[in-house]
């Protein structure tokens, strides 16, 4: 090699060396700067009192015990509990220094090839840092900070100390933070007593608490639990027999725990939605949530619900799920209790007959299609194979809309919807805040059959809207939210929107009051309160699945629902809404034990009008009374622009006369609400032949004394001065025609 080439090579190596040194020094400088930039806040890391404060309306602190993390020491946990989390979340936990370079490279490759940030490659140390100190945002700068702080933490704490902090911090869903609280929430036991099967279930929750919750997604939780068990077996932390036992076992979730925070859990969910943040962020930021909860009412609600459900469970020998809600009609939830896990804001159920007033009868009243007194023929029907039956499997003939609502008959509701049209029904439901799928626009909508169901909170909102005479508020748990410095960051505003006419809501309410007096909710009648109510019974393949009672006054709306979320089939003996109605009755008794409640006020534009019972029965039309006999007059509420039509008292009716050898046969149609006088006129003298009272249908009268008179006139007049046409007869002409018809052929005819 020539000297020139050697010189060039040395120069190149020198440049490369300088570049490498500069790059190395730059990396050191960058790492040093970044490392020194972020400080590890040990106080926040080790502080376990991150619970959000939830206050009732009276100011009582109802902080959730499961958000105030209960401490568990790492030494008190079975070894398999620790291994379940390590084998699932961070296999190299005990060998890395806070970050796993292999997982980072793999995650980076996946993110680059998929153009996303879905893979985080977080170790247990990183998850702890993120949960305790950082936000959930998916940015590279946050990831760098997370790694730096994890490295610092690894230098200050042992691996077991880090694992202990992690297990006491991680979120398990159902507002449970820390493994001790999660154990109580899901299994009603301490984490020290967890079985391998239960430990695998909890470890599986970490990836996505909502997706793998055994309470809301049992099948997903089962599969995920078995994946964790397989990871433990592959790592050599459980035996083949232990793995087989876990893989073949279900998840026995505790239906009850020692605490009730149904109200607080829903308030936290609502607060997260209002602030558009996660539950973890809400709790870690130490916000204070003030609610509309009435402490005394809440306790009574819990006692009433539990006592009745326990009685039902013993009677029918089956576990039951139930919900009871009490809200003021201006949209404030005062008490809420679920006797087992129920996501009030998320879960939807089939509303059954509770949808009839909302989807059928109210829109029919709005469009002046029906009134409470209108009659509908309850008969066997078939719409292209759709043949609904009534609950009693009977047909009732013509029934009033009032009775159809009160008795919750199915066939009249289907007929009314068919006449109303699906779009009008859908528009009305939208105004209630209930959105239905296009596939729901069929006649089964009248029976409350929906593709996606309806949330119970939506039903409470809808019925409170009717109670408010058309003002829609929506339901709210949260009054205000304060940050940790006491600054108000959210405050409830009493906003409402008029979506329906007062008159239409009053008529709907008045019919639902009958349901509480003599109809399907008649258990409420003994309360002697102005109550409107609707029941509902949902079924699937002939088996009942959901029972409802919704009751409202001028001040409150109450809903109680009963089902079996595990089997989704209720016992055959639970065929009506008697049980939820009884619960609501006791709630109403407690609610108004020391106070009275005003009746629903009739708005302008609604009056009580009389109508003719006979015309309605015989002709199925609503007309003003045709006479003044009280027993043939009924009264009901009508909108003044849709009142019974005026009867035309000058209208004449038909009368016919047929002559035979017996005399004059007088025929006309009578109505039982009228009195008829039949007259004959001979030589200008009016003679009363007969008076007909309270008879209905064809009337036949024979006047045999006619043949001595040359000409006779007949007419009928009723007690409302309605008069038939006058009919004349000539008896001698009849005799002549009769005799001529009897002459034998070939003989001389008779002439007169």
Average pLDDT for residues 605-625, to the nearest whole number? Answer: 91
Q: Give 648-671 as a DSSP string.
A: -TT----EEEEEETTEEEEEEEE-
Q: Poorest-confidence range of 19-28, 407-416, 481-490, 621-630?
A: 19-28
Please determine, for residue 433, whether its predicted confidence score (pLDDT) is greater than 70. yes
> 294-478+491-591 — its CATH code?
3.40.710.10
How far is Cα 32 from Cα 148, in angstroms, rounded to an integer?
A: 10
Q: Would you call 313 helix, strand, or coil by DSSP?
A: helix
pLDDT tens-digit series, residues 653-671:
789 999 988 899 999 998 8
361 close to 370: Cβ distance less than 8 angstroms = yes
Please determine, for residue 649, whether its predicted confidence score (pLDDT) is greater than 70. no
pLDDT, position 355: 98
pLDDT, position 752: 39
62 close to 56: Cβ distance less than 8 angstroms = yes
Look up tokens 């059954």; give the residue: 352
Please determine, for residue 174, whether its predicted confidence score (pLDDT) is greater than 90. no
Q: What is the largest CA-CA distance in the chain?
A: 167
Which strands make up the sheet holding 488-491, listed edge to edge? 53-55, 288-291, 478-482, 488-491
> Mean pLDDT over all residues of the chain?
87
- Residue 145 — very low, low, confident or very high, per pLDDT cuts 50/70/90? confident
How far is Cα 655 from Cα 523, in angstroms, rounded to an integer?
A: 52
- Residue 342 — very low, low, confident or very high, per pLDDT cuts 50/70/90? confident
Burial of 473-508, coded b for 16+ CB within 10 Å and e otherwise, reads: bebbbbbebbeeeeeeebebeeeeeebbbbbbbbbb
Average pLDDT for residues 190-200, to the nearest whole number? Answer: 95
Please determine, for residue 162, whether its predicted confidence score (pLDDT) is greater than 50. yes
How far is Cα 685 from Cα 711, in angstroms, rounded to an integer?
A: 12
pLDDT, position 671: 84
Average pLDDT for residues 727-739, to the nearest whole number? Answer: 82
Please determine, for residue 4, whether its predicted confidence score (pLDDT) is greater than 50. yes
3-class DSSP string for 141-202: HHHHHHHHHHHHHHHHCCHHHHHHHHHCCCECCCCCECHHHHHHHHHCCCHHHCCHHHHHHH
The pTM of this model reads 0.77
Q: Poorest-confidence range of 142-151, 162-171, 209-218, 279-288?
A: 279-288
Please determine, for residue 400, whether its predicted confidence score (pLDDT) is greater than 60. yes
How far is Cα 472 from Cα 464, in angstroms, rounded to an integer?
A: 8
pLDDT, position 745: 46
Please determine, for residue 258, whether its predicted confidence score (pLDDT) is greater than 90. no
Q: Poorest-confidence range of 32-36, 202-206, 645-649?
A: 32-36
Burial of 710-726, coded b for 16+ CB within 10 Å and e otherwise, reads: eebebbbebbbebbbee
- Residue 147 — very low, low, confident or very high, per pLDDT cuts 50/70/90? confident
More confident residue, 260 or 438: 438
> 655-742 — its CATH code?
2.60.40
pLDDT tens-digit series, residues 501-557:
999 999 999 999 999 999 999 999 999 899 999 999 999 888 999 999 999 999 999
Which one-letter DSSP state was computed for residue 386? B
Please determine, for residue 32, whether its predicted confidence score (pLDDT) is greater than 80. no
Tell how strand 655-660 and strand 675-682 pair up: unpaired
pLDDT, position 257: 55
pLDDT tens-digit series, residues 80-135:
999 999 999 999 898 888 888 777 666 555 555 555 444 556 898 888 888 777 76
pLDDT, position 8: 67
More confident residue, 207 or 397: 397
Residues 6 or more apart in contact with residue 170 via CB below 8 angstroms:
127, 128, 131, 177, 178, 179, 206
Please determine, for residue 571, whether its predicted confidence score (pLDDT) is greater than 70. yes
Q: Poorest-confidence range of 281-290, 309-318, 468-477, 511-520?
A: 281-290
Q: Would you call 710 helix, strand, or coil by DSSP?
A: coil
323 close to 460: Cβ distance less than 8 angstroms = no
How far is Cα 343 from Cα 341, in angstroms, rounded to an integer?
A: 7
pLDDT, position 652: 63
Domain boundaries of the chain, sorted by first residue: 1-36, 66-257, 294-478+491-591, 606-642, 655-742
Closest by CA to 376, choosing from 356, 352, 358, 351, is: 356
194 close to 78: Cβ distance less than 8 angstroms = yes
Q: Give me the CATH topology for the region 66-257.
A: Penicillin binding protein transpeptidase fold (1.10.3810)
Alpha helices in 518-631 (DSSP H): 578-591, 613-619
54-57: list long-range contacts, CB under 8 Å, 24+ apart. 54/264, 54/267, 54/268, 54/289, 54/291, 55/288, 55/289, 55/290, 55/291, 56/291, 56/293, 56/294, 56/295, 56/298, 57/290, 57/291, 57/292, 57/293, 57/294, 57/295, 57/334, 57/479
Helix (H) or strand (E) holding 6: helix 3-37
Please determine, for residue 10, whether its predicted confidence score (pLDDT) is greater than 80. no
When mean pLDDT is compared over 42-51, 305-314, 353-362, 690-699, the highest value belongs to 353-362
How far is Cα 419 from Cα 735, in angstroms, rounded to an integer?
A: 57
How far is Cα 377 from Cα 414, in angstroms, rounded to an integer?
A: 11
pLDDT, position 129: 84
98 close to 92: Cβ distance less than 8 angstroms = no
């Amino acid at each position: 090699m020539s000297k020139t080439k050697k010189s060039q090579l040395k120069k190149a190596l020198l440049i490369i060396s300088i570049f490498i040194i500069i790059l190395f020094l730059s990396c050191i400088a960058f790492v040093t700067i970044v490392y020194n930039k972020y400080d590890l806040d040990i106080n926040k890391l080790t502080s376990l009192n991150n619970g959000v404060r939830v206050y009732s309306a009276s100011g009582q602190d109802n902080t959730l015990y499961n958000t105030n993390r209960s401490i568990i020491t790492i030494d008190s946990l079975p070894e398999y509990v620790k291994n379940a989390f390590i084998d699932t979340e961070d296999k190299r936990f005990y060998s890395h220094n806070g970050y796993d370079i292999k997982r980072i490279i793999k995650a980076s490759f996946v993110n680059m090839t998929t153009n996303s940030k879905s893979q985080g490659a977080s170790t247990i140390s990183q998850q702890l840092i993120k949960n305790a100190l950082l936000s959930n945002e998916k940015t590279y700068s946050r990831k760098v900070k997370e790694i730096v702080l994890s490295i610092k933490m690894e230098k200050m704490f042992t691996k077991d100390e880090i694992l202990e902090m992690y297990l006491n911090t991680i979120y398990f869903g159902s507002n449970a933070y820390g493994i001790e609280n999660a154990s109580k929430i899901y299994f009603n036991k301490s984490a020290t007593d967890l079985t391998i099967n239960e430990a695998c279930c909890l470890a599986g929750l970490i990836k996505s608490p909502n997706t793998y919750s055994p309470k809301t997604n049992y099948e997903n939780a089962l599969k995920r639990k078995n994946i964790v068990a397989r990871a433990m077996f592959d790592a050599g932390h459980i035996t083949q027999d232990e793995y087989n036992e876990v893989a073949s076992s279900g998840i026995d979730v505790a239906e009850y725990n020692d605490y009730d925070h149904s109200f607080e859990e829903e308030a936290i969910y609502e607060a997260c939605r209002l602030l558009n943040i996660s539950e973890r962020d809400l709790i870690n930021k130490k916000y204070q949530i003030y609610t509309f909860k009435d402490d005394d009412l809440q306790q009574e609600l819990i006692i009433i619900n539990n006592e009745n459900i326990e009685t039902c469970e013993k009677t029918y020998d089956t576990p039951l799920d139930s919900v009871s809600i009490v809200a003021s009609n201006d949209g404030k939830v005062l008490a809420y209790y679920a006797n087992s896990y129920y996501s009030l804001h998320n879960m939807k159920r089939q509303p059954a007959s509770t949808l009839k007033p909302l989807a059928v009868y109210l829109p029919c009243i709005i469009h002046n299609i029906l009134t409470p007194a209108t009659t509908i023929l309850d008969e066997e029907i078939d719409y292209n194979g759709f043949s609904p039956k009534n609950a009693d499997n009977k047909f009732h003939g013509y029934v009033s809309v009032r009775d159809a609502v009160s008795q919750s008959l199915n066939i009249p509701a289907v007929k009314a919807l068919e006449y109303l049209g699906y779009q009008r029904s859908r528009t009305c439901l939208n105004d209630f805040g209930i959105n239905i799928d296009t596939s729901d626009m069929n006649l089964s909508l009248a029976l409350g059959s929906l593709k996606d169901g309806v949330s119970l909170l939506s039903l409470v909102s809808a019925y409170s809207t009717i109670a408010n005479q058309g003002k829609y508020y929506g339901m709210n748990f949260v009054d205000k939210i304060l940050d940790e410095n006491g600054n108000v960051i959210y405050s409830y505003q009493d906003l409402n929107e008029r979506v329906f006419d007062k008159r239409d809501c009053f008529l709907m309410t008045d019919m639902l009051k009958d349901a509480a007096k003599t109809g399907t909710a008649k258990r409420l009648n003994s309360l002697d309160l102005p109550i409107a109510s609707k029941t509902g019974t949902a079924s699937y393949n002939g088996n009942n699945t959901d029972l409802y009672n919704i009751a409202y006054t001028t001040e409150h709306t109450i809903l109680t629902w009963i089902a079996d979320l595990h089997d989704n089939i209720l016992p055959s003996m639970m065929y009506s809404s008697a049980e939820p109605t009884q619960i609501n009755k006791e709630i109403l008794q407690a609610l108004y034990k020391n106070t009275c409640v005003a009746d629903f006020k009739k708005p302008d534009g609604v009056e009580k009008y009389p109508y003719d019972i006979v015309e309605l029965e015989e002709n199925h039309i609503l007309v003003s009374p045709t006479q003044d006999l009280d027993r043939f007059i009924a009264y009901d509420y009508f909108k003044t622009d849709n009142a019974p039509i005026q009867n035309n008292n000058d209208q004449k009716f038909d009368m016919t006369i047929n002559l035979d050898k017996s005399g004059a046969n007088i025929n006309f149609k009578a109505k039982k609400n009228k009195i008829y006088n039949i007259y004959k006129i001979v030589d200008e003298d009016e003679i009363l032949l007969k008076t007909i009272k309270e008879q209905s249908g064809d009337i036949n009268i024979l006047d045999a004394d006619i043949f001595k008179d040359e000409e006779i006139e007949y007419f009928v007049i009723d007690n409302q001065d309605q008069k038939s046409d006058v009919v004349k007869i000539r008896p001698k002409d009849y005799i002549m025609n009769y005799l001529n018809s009897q002459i034998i052929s070939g003989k001389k005819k008779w002439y007169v």
